[in-house]
Amino acid sequence: MDMKNAKILVTGSSVGIGYATAALAKERGAQVFLNGRDRGKLESAMSRLAAPGFCADVGEQSEARALVAAAREAMGGIDVVVNNAGWGKRMTLEEYDPDVALAIWRTNILGVVHTTQASLDDLKSSKGAIVNIASTAALRGYPGGSAYCASKFALRGMTECWRAELRPHDIRVLLVNPSEVQTCFFGGAAERELDPKKLYAEDIAHAICGALEMDDRGFIPELSVFATNPFPA
């Protein structure tokens, strides 16, 4: 895909991986449309990137549809949907809270469904791409990861199904599995000193944009990104 003038909707793009992806895509010539649930953070991101956006919770179908409609109107269509919005909470089996687990599922799975489903006519028309941001938690479990890993394992399986369904329409469906990235994903401080040995959000943005820039005759179905040596000396 030629990134110049590509029309890219990035969910969860007011901070972190989503913001870094939108920033790099715009730097490479794309039109980008931002999204977030926190209006203040979203407006700040829109100002910094000089890009349009829409405040919406993609886990709610009506809001996801409104988001897609706003993106379509602002950009004149949609070529790429980057489904980045997601969150998690560590819970052991003893601590497992069904309400929290369902809320994670609503964003991490239904949010991806709602946004992509509403964009599907645009993607078929443009022969575009879908990028689902999973995690290495989609590949293996860890203590306390039951709710989050279950959502990301499900996202990986769902992505494989969509890939099979949409290849006849020339739509490429990619899955990106970041390892631990230094963001405020689990509710930590948004501003903190970064460890130079661990992954930055910009590293994942580079992987996403690089995969999208491959000629449309082929695509990278899935890629994982690990820090080379994140371990303490």
CA neighbours within 13 Å on the CB side: how many for 182? 14
Q: 96 an active-site residue?
A: no
- Enumerate long-range contacts of 89-95, CB under 8 Å, 24 or more apart: 89/147, 89/148, 89/186, 90/144, 90/145, 90/148, 90/186, 91/144, 91/146, 91/147, 92/143, 92/144, 92/146, 93/146, 95/144
CA neighbours within 13 Å on the CB side: how many for 228? 3
Domains of the chain with bracketed CATH? 7-225 (3.40.50.720)
Helix, strand, coil percentages (3-state) for the chain, rounded to 5, are 45, 15, 40
Q: Along the 233 residues of the chain, how does pLDDT read in single tens digits?
A: 999 999 999 999 999 999 999 999 999 999 999 999 999 999 999 999 999 999 999 999 999 999 999 999 999 999 999 999 999 999 999 999 999 999 999 999 999 999 999 999 999 999 999 999 999 999 999 999 999 999 999 999 999 999 999 999 999 999 999 999 997 664 444 456 789 999 999 999 999 999 999 999 999 999 999 999 998 87
Q: What is the pLDDT of residue 192?
A: 60
Q: What is the pLDDT of residue 193?
A: 79
Using a cut of 0.85, tell me whether the model's pTM lies above it. Answer: yes
Identity of residue 155:
L
Question: In this structure, what token pair is assigned to residue 137?
Answer: 């938690």
Q: Please, which residues bridge with residue 54 across strands?
A: 35
Q: What is the pLDDT of residue 10?
A: 98
**Active-site residue (options: 19, 96, 142, 148):** 148
Are residues 26 and 98 in contact, defined by beta-carbon separation less than 8 angstroms? no
Sequence-distant (≥ 6) Cβ neighbours of residue 32 within 8 angstroms: 8, 9, 10, 13, 22, 25, 26, 49, 51
